Amino acid sequence: MSKPERASIVFYDADTQQLKICTIPRSRVESAIERGMALTIPPDAPENSDAPVTDEDARKLGGMAILVQAIAHPELRARLQITTEAPMEWDTPKPPTE
């Protein structure tokens, strides 16, 4: 019997003010996965690739997961001591003017 597929969820717990990750059977969140946006890791790997997943890929994945939570939770932003390619602009983007 094969093991069930798993999904990992990164979230911010406002009560404890901590980032957390949980693992859950994928079948319990499949509908959410189908509605969400999925990124390939490494980002430039084609589908069905057996390209290695490097330390740098792992760092980028962790950084993306943390930044997504910081977008939604401003109280987390001041704690971040991570380097991004460009400075983060946390303000809501203004719509383009014609």
What pTM did the predictor assign?
0.79
Would you give the DSSP letter of residue 94?
Answer: P
Give the C-alpha distances (Å, rounded to integers) separating 42 from 1, 10, 35, 47, 52. 30, 18, 21, 11, 8
Mean residue pLDDT of the chain comes to: 90
pLDDT over 80 at 95, yes or no: no
- pLDDT average, residue stretch 8-28: 95
Q: What is the pLDDT of residue 91?
A: 83
What is the mean predicted confidence (pLDDT) over 66-81? 94
pLDDT tens, residue by residue, 25-61: 999 999 999 998 888 888 788 888 888 999 999 999 9
